[in-house]
Amino acid sequence: MTILENFIAGGWTKKAPVQEDVRPYIFDNKVKNNLVNNQESLNNFDVLQKFKNGEYLHRVGALEFAPANDVLMATSLEPVPQSLWGDGLIIENEITILFSDTNTGKSVLAVQIGNDIAKTGKVVLYIDFELSRPQFRGRYTNDNGDDYEFSPNFIRCNVGQYSCYDEENIINDILLACGDSGAEVIIIDNLTWLESHVEKGEAAIHLMRKLIEMKNSHGLTVIPISHTTKRLLNQSLTINDLSGSSKIGQLIDAAITIAKSTKEPNLRFIKQLKVRTGSFKYDSDNVLVCELSKGEDNNFLHFEPIRTAHEAEMLGAIDSETRDSLVDSVHELSLKGLSQRQIADILPISKTTVRNYQNRYNESDR
């Protein structure tokens, strides 16, 4: 049987026997390894385990409580959450939602984030409700058929072609996939699909609460993807632009959004809208400007950071006089022997726009 025949027959997709989830033990070992040079703290490791097992907690129904000093002591023995991507845009063990308008590159950035994190050794489960296999490959192969090589820790998951699902089984299957894959980072692309393919509109809220439970018990990092509500494209983005129930914005730890530049069609910018750990680095006064690129081998569509800018600069309309001035500036810098990248670094435009302006000048009567 060929590889393709085996794949179609399900030989690579049959469900493996469910094994005991070892992530809690991995998490506890990470804690213990952090304490080996501190004998006093190492002696307190058993205290931490008892605390996590509830021996030092008093419970009333669904609530549990303990003296604040005990909470601080136990928490001090656990690893400090680290930045996983973007210098604080994605924080370990948090739920960070990524949302934007249609056709701005949410899935492109989500895959990029997941693959970058997977390269550090963490297992990343990317649950793709958006693209078919051919569509996915189209973004990560070039005209010669050369496929991009992802990290082996980056796992793509999708709904089976002949699968039947309702609210409960699709959510339970997501949770089972997390356990079976041993994932430490979960990306769900996207919540809008989930809400439109189940009977109840509260499905996304139900899933978010389940993910919070897993995040807290297993130290997971969760990145849901969503859309914006209908809005004017030249208005500043806020957390209120997040599509769906406002409860989602309350449940998450952090939120980042991406938007297109109204001046440069190939430019996107990333903006932080909610932060619980750290500080706002990319707010409206300092959004991260990126250019969509397929890389040197033309087989990995991704966001290439180029500079920072004020959000208003990215959303303001460019008039014909300003555009003509930029075309002239591009031509003058080209005559000096500067490359397209060097010109893009000097002027507030992308490399693609530099090339377009060079062509515009050559085709004009100047």
Instruction: Please report, for the chain, the start and end positions of each structural domain, with discontinuous segments joined by +.
Output: 23-76, 83-315, 320-363
The whole-number average pLDDT for the span 58-82 is 78
- Mean pLDDT across the stretch 117-130? 94
Range among 10-14, 239-243, 285-289 rated most confident: 285-289
Residue 54 binned pLDDT confidence (cut-offs 50, 70, 90): low
Rounded to the nearest 5°, which phi and psi values hold at 8?
A: -65, -35
State the burial class of residue 108 (Cβ atoms within 10 Å of its Cβ: 0-12, 13-18, 19+): middle
pLDDT at 262: 84
The per-residue pLDDT for 70 is 75
Please tell me the predicted confidence (pLDDT) of residue 98.
Answer: 96
pLDDT at 4: 46
**Which of 193-207, 211-225, 337-351 has the highest average model confidence (pLDDT)?**
211-225
Supply 95's token pair.
């739920």
Residue 15: both structure tokens together: 């469900």
Residue type for 330, please? V
Q: Which residues contact 212 (CB under 8 A, 6 or more apart)?
A: 95, 251
| pLDDT in the model for residue 14 | 41
Q: Which class does domain 83-315 fall in?
A: alpha beta
Mean local confidence (pLDDT), 201-220: 77
Q: Is the peptide bond before 190 cis (omega within 30 degrees of 0)?
A: yes
Tokens of 156: 């793509």
Residue 45 scores a pLDDT above 70: no
Per-residue pLDDT at 33: 53
pLDDT reported for residue 285: 86
Identify the pLDDT of residue 272: 96
Tokens of 55: 């021996």
Q: What percent of the chain has pLDDT over 70?
A: 77
pLDDT in tens, 251-301: 899 999 999 998 788 899 999 999 998 888 999 889 999 999 988 889 999
Mean per-residue pLDDT over the chain, rounded: 79
DSSP annotation string for 108-123:
HHHHHHHHHHHTTT--
Supply the pLDDT for residue 152: 96
At residue 51, does pLDDT exceed 70? no
Question: For the domain with range 320-363, which CATH number is right: 1.10.530, 2.160.20, 2.60.120, 1.10.10?
Answer: 1.10.10
pLDDT at 25 exceeding the cut of 60: no
CA distances in angstroms from 247 to 201, 239, 240, 250, 272, listed in the order given: 12, 11, 11, 5, 18
92-96, 121-125, 228-232: which has the minimum mean pLDDT?
A: 228-232
Q: Please tell me which residue, 173 or 4, carries the higher pLDDT value.
A: 173
Contacts of 6 (CB under 8 A, 6+ apart): 12
Helix ranges restricted to H, the chain: 3-8, 23-33, 39-43, 45-52, 68-76, 106-118, 133-139, 167-181, 191-196, 203-218, 246-251, 311-315, 320-335, 340-346, 351-363
> Torsion angle of alpha carbons 125, 131, 133, 139, nearest 10°?
-90
pTM exceeds 0.75: no
Check if 83-315 and 320-363 are the same fold: no
Length of the chain, in residues: 366
Q: State the Rg of the chain over Cα.
A: 24
- Bridge partners (DSSP) of residue 60 are 63
Sheet holding 267-274, edge to edge: 154-157, 124-128, 185-189, 221-227, 96-100, 254-260, 267-274, 287-293, 302-309
